[in-house]
């Protein structure tokens, strides 16, 4: 048993009283989201009403989960916090550092050798501080969490933006940066702006080619990549209850692509079946005892417009399979219109690779439905015309689907099974020929499809669909193929049609695994030594950031004015840079190398105001740091969308950037900047973005009166002697301003521990 049943009993015991107090405070029925949030408020706040989208509230999460790429920095920070053991159940999952190249076994063996130093560090630091450790090959964090740790009504934070996957089992699970995780592991409350609520009412029932993935692809098309910012999305209705628990997880997982804080479904018979199917009947029994608290009140769902800030309704019986992309996960195309879109936009029609699996779609149900199509291909004498890869989500799923013959079916079709790891989904893909940067198309069942994300090629047109649609299109090798209506020519020259996919939500024989890959922490970690070699290029002990000097910031140089979409992949790329996630100095060499410079439309080429030359962003910034000159980064809308990686905030802080000034922020990135003691500012008038010039020296005025709700002023001193004064806003509360003044949130944590 890896889950903490006593902790869950304690959470459930508090539910009735907390929810009664919340009803009294709100004076009305409650949504499921509100019930769980109120049940996890810190002491003293549970009986007070909190204004959505306005109030900052302290919560007490039940657990923390971290993947290996972000865990390195999070645990390096925790080592500075002065604590001897984590205060809440916490785990580390080794899934990000395994590169897909040949196949599961050789790729895993290579990763263990290549990353031995990092794995040894994570294993030893977990042992020392009481964290559970999931070894490389055990699986992708979100699938492992869903199978082992997620429970209805719980609250979890995780250092990965797709942590909301656990919402499929009714958990408020939120992606955060490592500094947030550090706080919770140190026993401190965790702060979040009380979210607004979006209700998605699902009616009808899925059938045929349509799957749970199509629900979130449809929602992404409606809300766009920033439509869920500051909101929790709650799914309800008869249609929601008809979806499998893992299908719900898929929907919640990809809620990160609309910027949502998290997404959630209520506890129902499908949830119970999954808990029992994954050897957690004890949790199911406890959940049944408070079942009425693990869903929204009936009055809420009867009149959702009265209780949610926004309501969307989708009839699953009418929902069509979707394909989203390219280059953004919210460009949604119903399958019936996708072929025309491919031709009209001159996207490469030939499909080079189809990839299924990942944390979003690697359940037993997903694999079995895709395998039913692969078996049809074999039976109907069809060979996959595209390359085809399968990424199992966990060793438990992999072992079970191999036992049940599904992996063999894929291999018969020409598929390659990859390691139980993130792989191509996060750019860990040694794709042959990608360096030629040829225009091509791939389709995946992953969650994110930004340019260059999967293979580093900006000309790879990446599309997102369900595993079933991906498999069918890989068989056809053609993006314009519609498996619902079109036929294919087999080896005998006959026209054959693929039948609707079929699968099972849970294995008839139950799940099985020989070695799940879990390491229990040492009972006493006081004698465990955590080694970090002084000359390591992978790991580096941290030094505290300097506190604010107590004055306005003047004479700052403009580092870059980023144009258009600037995600965390643009700010701090993944792929080959993952090897440096534990070494702040080395990874800072990728700072903003993917951002487009407004003044020359080039990437990684900015003006050095010290000598007028143009250089790479990190090199220019290091020159400013050498001369003790602070800088400002200017950005566009939804700056920092995408991954939760706090390196995108730590790198500019480490290299001497003092402020990020943008039209708007993605939630996680804004919080990460605040945690690291940086100024995260927004234009009061977005049009003032146009006033920023390439040679500007910038002053930030008003910091002596830095207070919640008080705007600041940025003075743009132009090279011709003229100047513009720009009003800028911020969302700092009193506690966050203390982070800024102390130099970082971690500095305050350490002070309180001494």
Q: Are 78 and 186 in contact (CB under 8 A)?
A: yes
Sheet holding 132-134, edge to edge: 172-175, 155-158, 63-67, 90-93, 132-134, 518-519
Separation of alpha carbons 230 and 674, rounded Å: 16
> Which residues have CB under 8 Å from 718's CB, separation 6+?
693, 695, 696, 724
Q: DSSP string covering 317-344, please? A: TTPPPEEE-SBSTT-EEEHHHHHHHHHH
Separation of alpha carbons 296 and 240, rounded Å: 13
Residue 536 catalytic? no
Residue 160 catalytic? yes
Spot the catalytic one: 93, 645, 658, 730: 645
Identify the H or E element spanning 313: strand 310-315
Residue 684 catalytic? no
Spot the catalytic one: 40, 63, 83, 96: 96
Paired with 683 in beta bridges are 728
Residue 526 catalytic? no
**How buried is 256 (Cβ within 10 angstroms: 0-12 exposed, 13-18 middle, 19+ buried)?**
buried
**How buried is 1 (Cβ within 10 angstroms: 0-12 exposed, 13-18 middle, 19+ buried)?**
exposed
Residue 645 catalytic? yes
Q: DSSP string covering 198-240, please? A: EEEEEES---TT--HHHHHHHHHHHHTTTTTBTEEEEEESHHH
- Residue 306 has a CB neighbour count (10 Å cut-off) of 11
Separation of alpha carbons 279 and 1, rounded Å: 9
* 579 secondary structure, DSSP code: G
* 167 secondary structure, DSSP code: G
Measured CA to CA in angstroms, residue 108 lies from 135, 152, 394, 423 at distances of 11, 33, 13, 11
Residue 643 catalytic? yes
Spot the catalytic one: 394, 466, 643, 644: 643
> Which residues have CB under 8 Å from 319's CB, separation 6+?
204, 206, 210, 214, 215, 218
- Residue 171 has a CB neighbour count (10 Å cut-off) of 29
Q: What phi and psi, each to the nearest 5 degrees, are found at residue 630?
A: -75, 160
Helix or strand or coil: residue 530? Answer: coil
Spot the catalytic one: 18, 280, 293, 448: 448
Q: Is the peptide bond between 201 and the residue preceding it cis, with omega within 30 degrees of 0?
A: no
Separation of alpha carbons 732 and 680, rounded Å: 9
Spot the catalytic one: 160, 268, 297, 330: 160
Spot the catalytic one: 50, 90, 93, 95: 95
Q: Are 320 and 335 in contact (CB under 8 A)?
A: yes
Residues assigned a catalytic role? 95-96, 160, 448, 643, 645
């Amino acid at each position: 048993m890896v889950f903490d049943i006593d902790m869950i009993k304690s959470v459930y015991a508090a539910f009735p009283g907390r929810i009664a107090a919340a009803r009294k405070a709100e004076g009305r029925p409650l949504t499921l989201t509100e019930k769980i949030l109120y049940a996890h408020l810190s002491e003293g706040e549970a009986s007070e009403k909190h204004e959505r989208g306005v109030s900052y509230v302290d919560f007490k999460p039940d657990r923390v989960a971290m993947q290996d790429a972000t865990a390195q920095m999070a645990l390096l920070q925790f080592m500075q916090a002065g604590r001897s053991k984590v205060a809440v159940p916490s785990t580390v999952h080794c899934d990000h550092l395994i590169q897909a190249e040949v196949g599961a076994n050789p790729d895993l063996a290579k990763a263990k050798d290549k990353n031995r130093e990092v794995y040894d560090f994570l294993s030893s630091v977990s042992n020392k501080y009481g964290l559970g450790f999931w070894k490389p090959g055990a699986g992708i964090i979100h699938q492992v969490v869903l199978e082992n740790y997620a429970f209805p009504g719980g609250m979890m934070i995780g250092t990965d933006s797709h942590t909301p996957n656990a919402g499929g089992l009714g958990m408020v699970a939120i992606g955060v940066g490592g500094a947030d995780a550090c706080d919770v592991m140190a026993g401190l409350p965790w702060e979040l702006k009380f979210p607004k609520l979006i209700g998605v009412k699902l009616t009808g029932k899925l059938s045929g080619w349509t799957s749970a993935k199509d629900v979130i692809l449809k929602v992404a098309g409606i809300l766009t990549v920033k439509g869920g910012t500051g909101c929790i999305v709650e799914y309800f209705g008869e249609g929601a209850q008809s979806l499998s628990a893992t299908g719900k997880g898929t929907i919640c997982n990809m809620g990160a692509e609309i910027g949502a804080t998290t997404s959630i479904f209520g506890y129902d018979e499908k949830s119970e079946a999954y808990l029992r199917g994954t050897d957690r009947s004890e949790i199911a029994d406890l959940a049944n005892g408070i079942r009425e608290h693990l869903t929204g009140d009936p009055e809420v769902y009867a009149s959702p417009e009265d209780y949610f800030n926004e309501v969307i309704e989708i009839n699953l019986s009418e929902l069509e399979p979707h394909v989203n992309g390219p280059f953004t996960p919210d460009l949604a195309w119903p399958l019936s219109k996708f072929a025309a879109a491919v031709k009209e936009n001159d996207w490469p029609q030939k499909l080079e690779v189809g990839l299924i699996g990942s944390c979003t779609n690697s359940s037993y149900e997903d694999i079995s439905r895709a395998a039913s199509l692969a078996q049809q291909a074999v039976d109907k004498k069809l060979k996959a015309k595209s390359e085809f890869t399968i990424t199992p989500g966990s060793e438990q799923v992999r072992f079970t689907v191999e036992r049940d013959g599904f992996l063999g079916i894929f291999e018969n079709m020409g598929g390659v099974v990859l390691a139980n790891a993130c792989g191509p989904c996060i750019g860990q893909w040694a794709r042959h020929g990608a360096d030629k940067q040829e225009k091509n198309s791939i389709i995946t069942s992953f969650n994110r499809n930004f340019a260059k994300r999967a293979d580093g090629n900006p000309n790879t047109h990446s599309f997102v669909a369900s595993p079933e649609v991906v498999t069918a299109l890989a068989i056809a090798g053609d993006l314009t193929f519609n498996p619902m209506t079109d036929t294919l020519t087999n080896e005998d020259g006959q026209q054959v049609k693929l039948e609707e996919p079929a699968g099972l939500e849970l294995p008839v024989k139950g799940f099985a695994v020989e070695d799940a890959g879990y390491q229990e922490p040492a009972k006493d970690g006081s004698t465990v030594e955590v080694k970090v070699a002084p000359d390591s290029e992978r790991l580096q002990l941290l030094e505290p950031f300097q506190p604010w000097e107590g004055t306005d910031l003047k004479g700052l140089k403009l580092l870059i004015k980023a144009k258009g979409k600037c995600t965390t992949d643009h700010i701090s790329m993944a792929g080959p840079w993952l090897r440096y996630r534990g070494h702040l100095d080395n990874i800072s060499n990728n700072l903003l190398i993917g951002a487009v410079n407004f003044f020359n439309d080039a990437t990684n080429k900015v003006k050095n105001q010290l000598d007028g030359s143009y250089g790479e962003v990190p090199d220019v910034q290091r020159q400013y740091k050498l001369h003790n000159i602070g800088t400002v980064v200017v950005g566009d809308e939804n700056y920092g969308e995408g991954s939760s990686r706090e390196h995108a905030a730590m790198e500019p802080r480490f290299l001497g950037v003092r402020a990020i000034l943008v039209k708007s922020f993605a939630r996680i990135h804004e919080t990460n900047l605040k945690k690291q003691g940086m100024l995260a500012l927004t234009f009061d008038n977005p049009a003032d973005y146009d006033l920023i010039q390439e040679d500007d020296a910038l002053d930030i005025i008003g910091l002596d009166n830095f207070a919640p709700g008080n705007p600041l002023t940025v003075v743009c001193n132009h090279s011709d002697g003229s100047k513009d004064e720009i009003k800028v806003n911020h969302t700092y509360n009193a506690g966050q301003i203390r982070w800024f003044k102390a130099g970082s949130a971690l500095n305050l944590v350490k002070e309180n521990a001494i």
